[in-house]
Amino acid sequence: MRTTKRFSPRLLDLFRERGRGTGTYGSYIPWHRVSRSDPASRGRSHLIAWRGRHIELLSDGEFTAFCFSTRLMTPKNDLREQFPLSQERSPHELTAYDARFHMRKYPGTLEIAKNLGIKHPLVHGGGLTASWVMTTDLLLMLQTDDGTCTLLAIAVKDRSLLSERATALLTIEAGYWQSRGVPWLLITPRLYHPQVVETLFRTWQWAVQMPVSESYLQAAETAIHLWQGHSLTYLLQKLSQEFDSHSQAQHAIWQAIWSGRTPVDLRRGWRPHVPLQLLPQAQFDYFNPILMRRSAWT
């Protein structure tokens, strides 16, 4: 059973002392963690081994957003989940990747909430009261070929209809990133196809773990184009013989698909007997709301 531990000012101080919300790439430590020492999350949590650390996701919605985000994750790019927003004025979050952003400070959530006329969330415990540390579910760092770094902030809600208070808190979060010139997306179920998500949930372990070689990806890409219309079972048999490994064939196929190299219709479902069908690249891309920068926020 998960702990019934509750948040308190002392617990937030403990998070800071332990370096929560700091670091980049493999050294990053999320502010909220999937741990018995943390208060339980309301949704189903996911702990995903990825790029030398565990990605800690607190709901199926966050896991869905992570799956979509992997399409943007080249080796130079970074993903930080449960990212804490500064309460006070602070340097830009890009400072962690480019020291030139350290010169200017931007407003924190306390200032933004005050300017918007929204009550900032608080936390109580042990006779103390403190301002709650707001977080963004996913913060992506995207690097262009010339080395320029940009950020993409993503908030996730498992429901499309939000309470008045939830909307107010999202307004603070949106204002935080807007003040920094960072695009901010709100991802809800109305933005994605449920069958696509079901396929992502069923295949993620092959798509994001144990990266295969470029030669295997090329072989999978060629095979999918050559034998589209055949079942996944048929394709796996062919590649398993070529690779002398059923596991490597599974990883190669789904990594080729998730990366967009072979735009297979993910609405087909995940079952091996169902035929593979290619889509036009633009249609395949459309099913990924993060890649297309769609947002439920208006």
- pLDDT recorded at residue 100: 82
- pLDDT tens digits, one per residue of 243-288: 999 999 999 999 999 999 999 999 988 888 999 999 999 999 999 9
Mean pLDDT over residues 7-21, rounded? 96
Looking only at the bridges linking them, the beta strands covering 149-156 and 184-187 are parallel
Interatomic CA distance for residues 288 and 69, integer angstroms: 9
Q: Which pLDDT score, from 0 to 100, does residue 4 have?
A: 57
Q: What is the CATH number of domain 63-191?
A: 3.40.1350.10
CA torsion through residues 106, 143, 63, 194, sign: positive
115 falls in which pLDDT band (50, 70, 90)?
A: very high
Q: What is the side-by-side strand order in the sheet with 149-156?
A: 78-84, 135-143, 149-156, 184-187
Could you report the per-residue pLDDT of 19-31, keeping only the tens digit for each? 999 999 999 999 9
Residue 247, H or E segment: helix 246-258
Point out which residues pair with 187 in neighbouring strands: 156
| Beta-carbon-side half-sphere exposure of residue 167 (alpha carbons within 13 Å) | 8
Average pLDDT over residues 176-189: 98
Neighbour-count burial for 198-235, b at 16+ CB within 10 Å, e otherwise: ebbeebbebbbeeebeeebbebbbebbeebeeeebebb
Average pLDDT over residues 42-49: 87
pLDDT at residue 1 greater than cutoff 50: no
Mean pLDDT of 137-141: 98
Question: What pLDDT shows up at residue 42?
Answer: 67
Instruction: Look at residue 236 in the predicted model and tell me its pLDDT.
Output: 95
Q: What percent of the chain has pLDDT over 90?
A: 87
Domain boundaries in the chain? 63-191, 194-286
Mean pLDDT of 165-192: 97
Backbone phi, psi, residue 64, to 5°: -60, -45
